[in-house]
Amino acid sequence: LTLIVAIDSLGAEEAKGLTRSLCTRVAGFKVGLPFLLANGVQFLKELHGACPEKLWVADLKLADIGHVMKLVASSVASSVDAVIAHGFVGVRGALDELKEYLNSLDKKLIVVVSMSHPGAEEVYDKALPNIFDVVVKLKPWGVVAPATRPAIIQETRRSFGQDVKILSPGIGAQGARPGEALCAGADYEIVGRLITRAENPVASAEEVLREQREMLRRCKGWR
């Protein structure tokens, strides 16, 4: 399974309905900070309970000292399997503490190595070699690299081989087509509004899965 659905733009009840409907079809769900602040961490626990066997990712884009990131992670840890933090905060006194804490709870760390918006070229991209060094030292379970920039996904896969999962947002509203990131080497595509704002979200998710298979058939041969 290669699809993670970002449910950030939904209301609480919609999110729960969609989570139930898609539970057997997808690899997991991603919940962002706007959703958490709007609905509270208690509701996340309820939502997680609607499909607990899949991969739940808290997309908090943590970027603080270790002490603060651990506090934030602790407030969602019982309802998710993985937490996203930014590679640019570095290892010592930041991601090392977060990773050790998540390990102790048997939870996964996912590190952002690149972003999808134009402003990513101003600072983030220029720091890519240093952020790759952070990934080498830290050995997180996964990294985030945007579907809109397949060259960075390819470089990430070349650099880390199969030691790291690659999760790619940016499909649909941000411009990439389903399957493009998978073809570049990603393990999961994160799709939000293309599914959650569709008239029929379940049908839209099925269509995304079909497009992923079609694209993979063309780029890699049937698998």
Distance, CA of 217 to CA of 223 (rounded, Å): 7
Residue type, 37: L
Please identify, using beta-carbon distances, which residue of 36 and 182 lies nearer to a second copy.
Answer: 36
Regarding 92 and contact with a second copy (CB under 8 A), the answer is yes
Please identify, using beta-carbon distances, which residue of 87 and 142 lies nearer to a second copy.
Answer: 87
Regarding 89 and contact with a second copy (CB under 8 A), the answer is yes
Please identify, using beta-carbon distances, which residue of 75 and 200 lies nearer to a second copy.
Answer: 75
Which range of residues in 47-55, 83-91, 159-167, 207-215 is near a second copy by CB under 8 A?
83-91
Token couple for 138: 């830290």
Helix axes 128-138, 150-160, angle to 10 degrees: 40
Regarding 180 and contact with a second copy (CB under 8 A), the answer is no
Residues 41-80 as x/- pattern, contact with a second copy by CB under 8 A: x------------------xxxxxxx-x--xx--xx----
Active site residues per annotation:
61
Regarding 189 and contact with a second copy (CB under 8 A), the answer is no
User: Residue 82, SS3?
Assistant: strand
Query: By CB neighbour count within 10 A (0-12 exposed, 13-18 middle, 19+ buried), where does 198 fall?
Result: middle
Token couple for 209: 């899965």
Token couple for 207: 């269509």
Any idea which residue has 């470089």 for tokens? 155
User: Residue 68, SS3?
Assistant: helix
The least distance separating a second copy from the CB of residue 36, rounded to whole angstroms, comes to: 7
The least distance separating a second copy from the CB of residue 64, rounded to whole angstroms, comes to: 5
Please identify, using beta-carbon distances, which residue of 76 and 166 lies nearer to a second copy.
Answer: 76
Token couple for 146: 């945007």
The least distance separating a second copy from the CB of residue 95, rounded to whole angstroms, comes to: 7
Please identify, using beta-carbon distances, which residue of 85 and 184 lies nearer to a second copy.
Answer: 85
- Element (DSSP H or E) covering residue 6: strand 3-6
What are the residue ranges of helices labelled H in 23-127?
33-49, 66-76, 96-104
Residues of this chain that interact with a second copy (CB under 8 A) are 8, 32-34, 36-38, 40-41, 60-66, 68, 71-72, 75-76, 86-96, 115-124, 126-127, 130-131, 133-134
